């Protein structure tokens, strides 16, 4: 039982880095931590997870700003996600948007366009990185920037594979 408690704490701590945007935990309190598969009896479902293993909360300022066309929320997300520093893109409310990682029929914003984890999973026709045989050795940008998050996803992968007898 002690191991489960340590694992749970590790997952909770690591969730702050979800999708590589640890600011989200600061903006939404600890609610972002509920968006990884943290229940001991819950088997991760690749179809319900983003490509990296995270699930964006409804109160994400980038998603909410996009859906509500709220320029101030978009500006907040732009600054918090350091879009200009990371991608060299000046703020333009028409170009700064995010509908989520798996939003079908919606355009990809600057973050999704530059997400190497997403493009890798899509090129391999995976629903989520937990299905990838090379996850442990993967060195995509998100994983190198947030190794604790990667470890959390690897733990999710183990639980998923055990449920699939892989």
Task: Give me the number of domains the chain comprises.
Answer: 1
Tokens standing for 112? Answer: 């999704």
The reported pLDDT for the residue numbered 15 is 36
Domain that includes residue 72, residue range:
2-164
The reported pLDDT for the residue numbered 19 is 37
CB pairs under 8 A, 24+ apart, for 149-154?
Answer: 149/14, 149/15, 149/17, 149/18, 149/20, 149/52, 149/54, 151/10, 151/14, 152/10, 152/11, 152/14, 152/15, 152/36, 152/53, 153/52, 153/53, 153/129
CB 118 within 8 A of CB 51: yes
**13-57 pLDDT, tens digit each:** 333 333 333 333 333 332 333 455 445 568 999 999 999 999 888
Cα separation, 73 vs 78, whole angstroms: 8
Angle between helices 2-14 and 147-164 (to 10 degrees): 130
Residues of the chain with pLDDT under 70: 1-41
The reported pLDDT for the residue numbered 166 is 80
Gyration radius of the chain's alpha carbons? 16
């Amino acid at each position: 039982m002690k191991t489960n408690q340590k694992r749970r704490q590790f997952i909770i701590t690591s969730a702050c880095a979800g999708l590589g945007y640890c600011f989200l935990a600061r903006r939404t309190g600890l609610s972002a931590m509920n968006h990884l598969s943290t229940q001991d009896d819950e088997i991760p479902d690749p179809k319900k997870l983003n490509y990296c293993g995270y699930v964006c909360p409804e109160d994400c300022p980038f998603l909410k700003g996009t859906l509500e066309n709220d320029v101030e929320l978009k500006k907040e997300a732009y600054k918090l996600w350091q879009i200009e520093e990371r991608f060299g893109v000046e703020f333009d409310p028409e170009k700064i948007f995010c509908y989520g990682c798996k939003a079908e029929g919606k355009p990809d914003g600057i973050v999704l366009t530059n997400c190497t984890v997403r493009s890798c999973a899509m090129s391999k026709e995976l629903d989520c990185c937990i299905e990838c045989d090379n996850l442990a050795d993967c060195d995509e940008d998100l994983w190198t920037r947030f190794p604790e998050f990667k470890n959390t996803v690897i733990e999710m992968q183990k639980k998923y594979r055990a449920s699939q007898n892989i």
